[in-house]
A and B are shown apart, each in its own frame.
Chain A
Amino acid sequence: MAVAPPEKILKDLADLWVTTGKQEAGVEAHGVLRACTMTLIVVTEDRDDPAGLGETIAALMPEHPARTIVIRLTGAGERSICQRVFAQCWMPFGQRRQICCEQVEIACSDASLGDVPSVVLPLTVPDLPAILWCRSPRLLGMAEFPALAAVAHRVVVDSGALADAPVALRRLADEAARGMLLGDLAWTRLTRWRQTLAQVFEDPRHTASLTGDARITVCDAGAVTTQALYMAAWMAGALESVGVRSTVYIRTSTQRIFAELEYGDFHARLESHDGHLTATVDGLSHCTPLPTPNDYLLLREELGIPHADPVFASTLASAAQFAYATD
């Protein structure tokens, strides 16, 4: 099948607005409002829960209205590429006008993926950030990844879906060192954990007592994951920023997932169990719900950061160092 010409897709998008506007004009003449703050490029496997992805994108649009370009990888086979455009609309509660975002869907075989960047580039909305969400973990290993990543300002991956955590982190750190702005959903999953630990240090007594040497222990279930490496690296980095040296232990367990910080008489432990996160500081415990974050919640947070994330960048570099040490 022939490569879809970008001009054709852009014309389809323009026609889409005219059609949607006319449809609305007949009802109560409040029209439609086009909303766009970015281009969101999603690369996914064709077989990988298309309905779920559609729901995730629809849920993201009210907060992060975007021109969404979904690239569905159809796998091996002949060169083929096809596309369609449609609008994702919603009526905000209490308002009379529909808000719509554009969506372009491109289905292509692996053999045609090399043709896609030249189609996607002219489709990105000018002057607004473009974010590439690599929903398919396979993409990172494909030769076409750099060309597609070059279209975006920021690339969001999920290292948790990659087979070998140390290798994945080193790969990401290398890309970051080459200037790629990265986000990692494995890191995003830690936000609640990190925020809970940070909350402990809102108490000036704890902040004031940060001196000497510390011991960090992170325990993960089954095998060492990128999340465990990130958590340990982040804790060590934060302590180092205030002159506290730390010794890091990363362990695995079949049952417990926890992070522990000890120095002097201070002892804090974060532990997850049965959908809850318990923070125990010097013997006092506090438990909060820890719902499993779905794609919507993770992306919602990541799309809120269309530019550099310095805390993640420095943590990634440190975590990669830990990854070398775990070999």
Chain B
Amino acid sequence: MPADNPFQDPLRFERRAPPCAVVIFGANGDLTKRKLLPALYRLAYDRRLAPEFAIVGTSRTPLTDDQFRDKMKESVAAFSEDTQLDEEVWKAFAEGLHYVAGDIGDAALFQRIGEKLAHIEEAHQTGGNVLFYLSTQPSQYAQAAQGIGAAGLQHGAGWRRLVVEKPFGHDLASARELSDRLHEVFDESDVYRIDHYLGKETVQNILAFRFGNGIFEPLWNRRYINHVEITAAESIGVEGRGAYYQEAGALADMIQNHLLQVMATIAMEPCASFRATSVRDERSKLLRSVKPMTADEIRQNAVAGQYGPARIGGEDVAGFRQEPGVNPASATDTYAAVTLFVDNWRWAGVPFYVRTGKRLPKRVTEIAIHFNQAPLSMFDGEIADGTPNLLIVRIQPEEGISLKFLSKRPGAGMKLRPVSMDFNYGSSFGERSPSAYETLLLDALLDDATLYTRQDMVEASWTVVEPIQNVWRSDSFDFPNYAAGSWGPAAADVMLARRGHTWRKP
């Protein structure tokens, strides 16, 4: 009996999802409107979904199927950044849109979802394949999974998978508890923890850059790399998410998940194959190798910040404590900078400076790899700062890779100046890049978990972050300690200065 499709031609055929249904919990929420539906519509537009594809949206709001379709059409039209709404494509896509109203705490909701799925399986020939997507409040994840389990929806004629949005717990214990609750219903191999940073083209390109080329990997270690900076700066404030944000903070909201995953991608060992298990094993090993810090070390190597009011571009900008929904005495970190070390042979002694913050001067996410200086300076007075080689991996915006090196200045004499060699991802390849959610949703439908976070990775990340959280909770800070529109608190500069380094201003 042939197991594989003999008609496949991977060189030419696009990856396409098999017939299936996606059940979205929280279908009336922002994530569904802004990201999920536009991504699924774009997949349909690109013919990446099977004609039998169906969606079941569910939330508390009572809606008919047609009302749900109308709302989703508005969302797709409003939030599809580079895709026009094609009436023909939408019409076919909308035929697969269904809605079931109800409360996640009500067992009857899951019975109704079960009935709807049975109907879809019959009418759409989905083969019983179902992807459950939890786009609800994090506090409802376990409840939703339990509801699925109680109704027996985790089993069926086809595959059943569960996608969970971050945050995966708020500390190590809660992350473990959440995993335990999910595992009561789904096997770990069927749980897809989504970290949309890993779905970004340029984060994936790090793997291609490192392991597809032979010239960089020999330099990718403590002998040649002096230090690494990972920056995720946002120019906006909390934008109406004040209530949520003050419970999370920059450390938990960004570093625990996105930036530690980026760091793992930059620093992981090569894997034997590009299979999900191999890649995730290496990422996990790297995260488990991050050196634990004592409380005193944390005070030296981690800086919390919170933005205060400022005037930017002629406009008054509120401080975090003045944002709607935020406690006027909030001690939440809107900025976090951490120095991490990796205890393995490749990276021992190389500082990884990771920072993120809101209301910084610009929106930029990048990795800067600082190489050691040449061992001998043979050009007299070449340049003031002895600029070493620098490799910049820009994740957003203007994704690309730049290598900075010294070159002779034209003219008489041997005067050097730094120049930059740029590879601009979006322009060297003018083709539209899929959004992170398109990539990740298609991966989940195709059972490819390479870019998803696994339980052990989540736990390893919390093992790094939780001690810092604990120290910050026990200490008191004189917040606000940086003005909106600046590059963060002075203490973050002091942290790097101790090792003779300075932050880049990207």
Contact = CB atoms under 8 A, between A and B. Distances in A.
Contacts of B11: 305, 309-311
A301 B7 contact: no
Interface residues of A, number: 42
B79 to A, nearest CB: 17
A201 B7 contact: yes
B428 A65 contact: yes
A191 B8 CA distance: 11
Majority secondary structure, B binding face: loop
A194 B426 CA distance: 30
B7 A198 contact: yes
A194 B7 contact: yes
B12 A301 contact: yes
Contacts of B385: none
Given A203-B19, A301-B12, A239 B50 contact: no
A170 interface: no
Contacts of A254: none
Contact of B5 (A201, A211, A235, A301): A201
Contacts of B424: 33, 95, 97, 99
B13 interface: yes
Interface in B126-151: 127
| B: contact size bracket | 20 to 34
Nearest to B429: A63
A241 interface: yes
B50 A199 contact: yes
B9 interface: yes
Contacts of B177: none
A200 B51 CA distance: 11
B16 interface: yes
Nearest to A289: B88
A33 B402 CA distance: 13
Given A191-B12, A195-B13, A202 B5 contact: yes
Among B19, B47, B397, chain A packs the most CB atoms within 10 A around the CB of B47
B489 to A, nearest CB: 31
Given A195-B13, A286-B51, A309-B11, A238 B427 contact: no
Interface string B421-457: 0101011111100000000000000000000000000
B398 interface: yes
B9 A208 contact: no
A229 interface: no
B47 A288 contact: yes
Contacts of A199: 16, 50
A207 B50 contact: no
Interface in B1-32: 1-9, 11-14, 16, 18-19
Contacts of A182: none
A309 B422 CA distance: 31
Contacts of B18: 202-203
Nearest to A192: B47
Nearest to A315: B9
A63 B431 contact: yes
Interface in A282-327: 284, 286, 288-289, 301, 305, 309-311
Among B5, B6, B7, chain A packs the most CB atoms within 10 A around the CB of B7
Interface string B388-404: 00000000011000000
A309 B9 CA distance: 10
A198 B8 contact: yes
Interface in A230-255: 235, 238-239, 241-243
Contacts of A203: 18-19, 127
Contacts of A202: 5, 16, 18-19, 50
A198 B5 contact: yes
A223 B162 CA distance: 52
A89 to B, nearest CB: 11
A201 B6 contact: yes
Contact of B9 (A63, A92, A194): A194
A62 B430 contact: yes
B2 A207 contact: yes
A200 B8 CA distance: 11
B2 A90 contact: no
A207 B3 contact: yes
Contacts of A311: 9, 11-12
B243 to A, nearest CB: 32
A224 interface: no
Nearest to A94: B397
A35 to B, nearest CB: 5
Interface in B230-262: none
Contacts of B12: 191, 194-195, 301, 305, 309, 311
Contacts of A132: none
A61 interface: yes
Interface in B402-432: 422, 424, 426-431
A238 B430 contact: no
A241 B426 contact: no
Contacts of B4: 207
Contacts of A33: 422, 424, 427-428
A243 to B, nearest CB: 8
A197 interface: yes
Among B11, B19, B50, B426, chain A packs the most CB atoms within 10 A around the CB of B11
B427 A92 contact: yes
Interface string B20-46: 000000000000000000000000000
Contacts of B127: 203
A198 B13 contact: yes
A95 B426 contact: yes
B2 A35 contact: no
Contacts of B397: 94
B427 A95 contact: yes
A310 B11 CA distance: 9
16 contacts: A194-B7, A194-B12, A195-B13, A198-B5, A198-B9, A199-B50, A201-B6, A202-B50, A207-B5, A210-B2, A211-B1, A242-B2, A284-B125, A301-B12, A309-B11, A311-B11
Given A198-B7, A235-B7, A242-B6, 9 more contacts: A33-B424, A65-B430, A92-B430, A195-B9, A195-B13, A195-B16, A202-B19, A207-B4, A238-B6
Interface of A: 33, 35, 37, 61-63, 65, 90, 92, 94-95, 97, 99, 191, 194-195, 197-203, 207-208, 210-211, 235, 238-239, 241-243, 284, 286, 288-289, 301, 305, 309-311
6 residue pairs, one from A and one from B, having the closest CB atoms: A62-B430, A198-B7, A242-B2, A238-B6, A63-B431, A201-B5
